């Protein structure tokens, strides 16, 4: 099984960078138009979980875990619970692990304050070599955004990102990748979005991640 880390990183990065307008074509494609309803909710609902399901489905994830209209249909509340049981504090199932910077790979999914109703999920893109800043792709801003998150490791070992507790981590290596991954260009064309910006410099995983991270991705792919 090939873990599509490069494809997840590239699409998440592109979708966040070009999705700032919540009603623009990128955000509408990522959320399958649900952003319109989210913004009418009181309080407003978040689109953060849509990004994870969007990039995972595009990268080849299938099965019941995927919450997308374009797959088997979309259900409310499931955008986060499909990845992790809600309000789970302790590890105990295959997909729940206490977060650690040492096990974080580009493309992995994370959740902040996951034991509270204010939970927020993100796609990890790149941790700098000093391990002091994590670049993430986020939705729910209300659109998309790239966030450079200061990393603070508390004496207890608890990791904080931009002042919030990092409570959940999901490695892409634990997911059942079945279908061939789509490139960003192919995904844009499939959703009727101009692919021209994808061909601008700085869009690939090699540009987004550090050299050490690329080596780790390559070693993982080779089974080394």
pLDDT of residue 224: 62
In the chain, the percentage of residues whose pLDDT exceeds 90 is: 71
Between CA 205 and CA 7 the distance in angstroms is: 8
CA distance 192 to 103: 37
Question: Residue 139 has what pLDDT?
Answer: 97
Q: Which long-range contacts (CB under 8 A, 24 or more apart) does 202-207 make?
A: 203/10, 203/13, 203/14, 204/6, 204/10, 205/5, 205/6, 205/9, 205/10, 205/106
First vs last C-alpha separation in the chain: 14
| CB burial readout 28-54, b (16+ within 10 A) else e | bbbbeebbeebeeeeeebbbbbbbbbb
pLDDT at 114: 86
Residue 89 has pLDDT above 50, yes or no: no
Concatenated DSSP letters for 7-38? HHHHHHHHHHHT--STTSHHHHHHTTTTHHHH
> Per the structure block, which two tokens stand in for 158?
């608890």
What confidence category does residue 86 fall into, taking pLDDT thresholds of 50, 70 and 90? Answer: very low
Please report, for the chain, the start and end positions of each structural domain, with discontinuous segments joined by +.
5-222
Q: Of 72, 73, 150, 160, which Cα lies nearest the Cα of 113?
A: 160
pLDDT band at 128 (very low <50, low <70, confident <90, very high): very high
For 146-194, write each residue's pLDDT tens digit.
999 999 999 988 899 999 999 999 999 999 999 999 999 999 999 999 9
Secondary structure (DSSP) of 122-152: EEEEEE-TTSSEEEEEEE-SSSEEEEEEEEE
């Amino acid at each position: 099984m090939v873990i599509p880390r490069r494809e997840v990183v590239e699409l998440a990065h592109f979708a966040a960078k070009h999705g700032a307008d919540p009603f623009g074509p990128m955000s509408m494609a990522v959320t399958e138009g649900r952003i319109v309803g989210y913004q009418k909710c009181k309080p407003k609902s978040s689109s953060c979980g849509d990004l994870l399901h969007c990039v995972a489905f595009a990268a080849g994830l299938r099965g019941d875990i995927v919450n997308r209209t374009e797959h088997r249909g979309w259900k409310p509340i499931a955008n986060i619970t499909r990845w992790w049981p809600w309000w789970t504090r302790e590890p105990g199932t295959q997909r729940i692990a206490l977060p650690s910077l040492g096990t974080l790979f580009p493309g992995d999914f994370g959740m902040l304050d996951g034991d509270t109703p204010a939970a927020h999920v993100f796609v990890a893109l790149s941790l700098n070599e000093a391990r002091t800043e994590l670049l993430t792709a986020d939705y729910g801003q209300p659109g998309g955004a790239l966030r450079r998150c200061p990393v603070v490791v508390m004496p207890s070992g608890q990791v904080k990102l931009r002042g919030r507790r990092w409570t959940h981590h999901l490695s892409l290596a634990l997911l059942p990748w079945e279908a061939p991954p789509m490139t960003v260009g192919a995904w844009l064309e499939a959703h009727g979005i101009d692919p021209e910006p994808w061909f601008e410099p700085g869009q690939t995983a090699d540009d987004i991640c550090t050299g050490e991270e690329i080596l780790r991705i390559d070693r993982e792919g080779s089974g080394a």
